Amino acid sequence: MGEQVGQKPKRELPRSRVLVAEQTAKIYRDAFAAKARGEKVGWSTAIFPQEICETLDIPVLYPENNAASISAKHLGGELIEHAEGAMQYPSRICSYARLNMALADKIQDPAYSKADPLMPSPDFLLLANNSCTQLMKWYECLSRDLGIPIFFIDCLFNYYEEKPAKHKITYIRKQIEKYIWDMEAFSGKKFDWDKFLEVQKRSQINSKLFDEIIRLNMRTPAPMSGFDFFNYMSCLVLARGKESTTVIFEQLKKEVEEHIANNTTTFPSEEKYRVHWEGIACWPNLGHNLKTLKNYNVNAVINGYVTAWNVDYEPGDLDSMASAYASSSTNSLSTNTIMNMRADTIENYNCDGMLCHVNRSCKMMTFHIFVGRHIIEERTGVPCANFDGDQSDERIYSEAQFETRLQGLVEIMQHRKEANHG
Amino acid sequence: MADLPEMLAELQSVADSPKKMLAKYLAQGKKVVGCFPIYTPAELVHAAGMIPMGVWGGQVNPSVAGQYAPIFICSIMRSCLEFGMLGKYKGLSAVIMPILCDSFRGMSGAWRVGVKDIPLIALIQPQNREVDGAREFLAAEYGVVKEKLEEIAGHKISGDAIENSIAIYNSHNATLREFARAANRHLDVITPKIRHAVMKSAHFMEKAEHAAKVKDIVLKLAELPEHKWTGRKVVLTGITAEPGDLLDILAENKIAVVGDDLAQESRQFRTDIPAGQDPLDRLAGQWLSRSACSVVHEKTSARPDLVIKLAKENRADGVIICLMSFCDVEEYEYPLLAKTTAQAGLPSVCIDIDQSTENSGQARTKLQTFVEML
């Protein structure tokens, strides 16, 4: 969800990237402007039904996206230190949470300006726990510390492999309905159901477009460095229901298709190996990740994280929407479900291996890796390698370990290739 | 009736060796279903004529659980997985697992891969308890659990049987609350370790049987003169306060436990199953009534107030925050607990609870310093 992958771009940014930066800047600018006008501004978890506030034209920002951006700029350390020090939060809780709760505290001082991007202090919180349970605890703390309400959609968890049962969908749909009424009352704005349908349709167009673009990377060699996709995830988090996202994705699709037509790629070296990247990016260490991957000619052509935002439902059908929000996140699905999806992806993208980020902040994603690794190996035969890291806490990642683990993976992938060709 | 030390020793033995209880019930031809922490509808297992038995891990340095469970997940879950993978839970017909946190989300998958011979019955409680439909949802979820238990029991579970089990569980709750009050009048006899054993043993015995034993203990205590405790008094809060060594350190430092907000202990007994027409709806109503617990979402956390109230009512000198290793739901609540208790004039100390080590050296030093502060 970060805004910049790597440190200094060596070539001119593609038009789509410029558009992403402009869209993000506008969303933040609009939120600050609304706050200055005395209007209410919200903070939301990343896979919350954004369609409702989009319909009501209420500005919302996303702490997970914001924490990723701050971390990618190496500005998170001081905030994390504040959370663990003055605020007394244990260092074992999610680093996004630590960073964001510290930011929420710091921005109460109008003179504070160190973090980038800054967010205005929220007037309400939008919480969906489909990504994890820690989000619930994190938002409880924010709500209590800031004295602001939470609008909560409890998305449950799919502990088995079947689709969410009827009683689960009914419970989630009722929450969405209540949220709409509550948000109408809270904002004093009338909910326009026709506009809601249009926002739902737009959200579906955007999700499907992004999915189509990602699928273009099935080609060998891939037209994109897989890490480039991280740059566009903010569109789906901050602006899944906006037309401006459609414009960006159409532009991106055109650019990728041009690469395919010209047989060029954004991957900065020869693509000898293709891997599936499992887990959230190490935002503070993206530069090192990418440089090392490049040095070993490994393109992480696909990862599960960038496809986590595909909230696929039938516009106009609240049951369908409820089911989608209950099943969209990697962390809302059983390991069997997720890892079988990953095995499909590895086959479809012709991957030679899987590189797994054991993210200290994310228990559930790590469980998927530990519990589901055998599914990948048995179904696809490709080797897997783990490395330790964190989405925001720079203290966990070791450059030497990352390189060693990647090197080991490359050796196995090389032997397999030689064996297959020999 | 046996004498008091004998009664207490029996429950201590149950708390220390749940495996013996499992063997005992299996020898009686009963089916036993494991119940993971913290809240499961154990009443349904009971109503099926089976024995619900708590699965709370134990002190073990995992040797095989690491295959599926990363080192940074809840210490109890790692121990449970370790014991499951090593066959220590052999004999259980199934386990019920409530998906209350991220460690449980992951454990539901790890258990299915690592402990294939003990089937998993998963369930999830609604966290948005204010919404119309939460109670209906949970009753339906319990209905699915009931069907799975019926398959294991080999017969239907009647509404009357569930009502009967609910009555037994509510009565057991009242008995344990009565024990907690009685214990405070006899802190010389009911040491921290014994108090813990009486409460913990409830997880491994049929509830009517356990309630009868605890009632006898309360009667025996009533025969003794009230003891005037001259040492310090504390309230415990957290998931568990183990191992026993930790509680021995309290006793060595003349610290008595006069109240607890532990998930393994009083959180189990403080919320009764409400009255109602339909038994599954009544069980769902209990979840909706639960409060002041880290795995339950509330608009305003009631836990600090509850801990302070417990401390004040029982004239405690301080609070021990028993922070389960890698239990994130508890970790998020730590700063508020520490701050609020301090504001109420109650000193607190935070002790790491870790099932993967027997070493209580750090806790000993912290508690020795703490007692000097009180």
Domain count, chain A: 2
- Cβ pair A153:B124 closer than 8 A: no
Same domain assignment for residues A216 and A135? no
End residue of a domain, out of A189, A223, A242 = A189
Residue of B nearest to A371 (CA): B68
How far lies A125's CA from each of A27, A376, B128, B134, in Å? 17, 38, 14, 21
Tokens matching residue A68: 């990723």
Report the C-alpha gap between B127 and B136 in whole angstroms: 13
pLDDT tens digits, one per residue of A275-299? 999 999 999 999 999 999 999 999 9
Once rounded to an integer, what is the mean pLDDT over residues A361-386?
95
Residue of B nearest to A94 (CA): B328
Q: Which of B113, B300, B328 to mutate to test the interface with A (most CBs of A within 10 A)?
A: B328
- Cβ pair A371:B136 closer than 8 A: no
Task: Please list, in sequence order, all residues whose beta carbon lies within 8 angstroms of the beta carbon of residue B107, skipping any fewer than 6 positions away.
Answer: A367, B36, B69, B73, B77, B80, B81, B97
> What's the burial of B260, exposed, middle or buried (CB within 10 Å: 0-12/13-18/19+)?
buried
Same domain assignment for residues A124 and A201? no
End residue of a domain, out of A189, A211, A228 = A189
Model confidence at A422, pLDDT cuts 50, 70, 90, reads low
pLDDT tens digits, one per residue of A120-169? 999 999 999 999 999 999 999 999 999 999 999 999 999 999 999 999 99
Residue A360 domain flag: yes
Residue A268 domain flag: yes
| Torsion A209-A211-A217-A219 (CA) sign | negative
- Regions in chain B scoring below 70 on pLDDT: none
**What range does the domain containing A178 cover?**
15-189
Same domain assignment for residues A286 and A353? yes
Q: At residue A421, does pLDDT exceed 90?
A: no
Q: Which residue has the higher pLDDT, A306 or A100?
A: A100
- Kindly report the length of chain B: 374
Same domain assignment for residues A44 and A20? yes
Residues from chain B that touch A141, judged by Cβ atoms under 8 A, are 332, 335-336
Residue of B nearest to A366 (CA): B70
pLDDT tens digits, one per residue of A34-76? 999 999 999 999 999 999 999 999 999 999 999 999 999 999 9
Same domain assignment for residues A297 and A234? yes
Residue A9 domain flag: no
pLDDT at B228: 96
Where b means 16+ CB within 10 Å and e means fewer, B154-178 reads eeebeeebbbbbbebbbebbebbee
What's the pTM value of the predicted model, to 2 decimals? 0.96
- Cβ pair B106:A371 closer than 8 A: yes
pLDDT tens digits, one per residue of A159-198? 999 999 999 999 999 999 999 999 999 999 999 999 999 9
Q: Which among A176, A336, A320 is positioned nearest to B133, based on CA atoms?
A: A176
In angstroms, the separation between the Cα of residue B92 and the nearest Cα of chain A is: 20
Same domain assignment for residues A250 and A290? yes
- Averaged pLDDT score across all residues of chain A: 95
pLDDT tens digits, one per residue of A333-359? 999 999 999 999 999 999 999 999 999
Classify B10-160 by CATH class. alpha beta
pLDDT tens digits, one per residue of A304-336? 877 777 799 999 999 999 999 999 888 999 999
Q: At residue A4, does pLDDT exceed 70?
A: no
Would you say A209 and A249 are in contact if contact means Cβ atoms under 8 Å apart? yes
pLDDT at A382: 97
Model confidence at A3, pLDDT cuts 50, 70, 90, reads very low
Q: Which residue has the tokens 């002790």?
A: B351
Once rounded to an integer, what is the mean pLDDT over residues A224-238?
94
Same domain assignment for residues A263 and A127? no
How far lies B248's CA from each of B16, B195, B364, in Å? 14, 12, 10
Would you say A347 and A276 are in contact if contact means Cβ atoms under 8 Å apart? no
Same domain assignment for residues A237 and A182? no
B342 touches chain A (CB under 8 A): no
How far lies B149's CA from each of B11, B42, B51, in Å? 28, 11, 11
Q: At residue A12, does pLDDT exceed 60?
A: yes
pLDDT at A6: 47
End residue of a domain, out of A133, A168, A189 = A189
Residue of A nearest to B139 (CA): A167
Which domain CATH number covers A336? 3.40.50.11900
- Cβ pair B105:A89 closer than 8 A: no
Same domain assignment for residues A154 and A220? no
Q: At residue A31, does pLDDT exceed 90?
A: yes
pLDDT at A8: 52
Residue A145 domain flag: yes
Instruction: Note if the bond before A117 is cis, omega within 30 degrees.
Output: yes
Task: Please list, in sequence order, all residues whose beta carbon lies within 8 angstroms of the beta carbon of residue A215, skipping any fewer than 6 positions away.
Answer: none
pLDDT at B356: 84
Q: Where are the domains of chain B?
A: 10-160
Query: Strands of B120-123's sheet, edge to edge?
Result: B51-54, B32-35, B92-98, B120-123
Task: Please list, in sequence order, all residues whose beta carbon lies within 8 angstroms of the beta carbon of residue A30, skipping any fewer than 6 positions away.
Answer: A59
Same domain assignment for residues A36 and A176? yes
pLDDT at A206: 96
Interaxial angle between packed helices A166-187 and B134-153, expressed in degrees from 0 to 180 and rounded to the nearest 10: 160
Same domain assignment for residues A270 and A386? yes
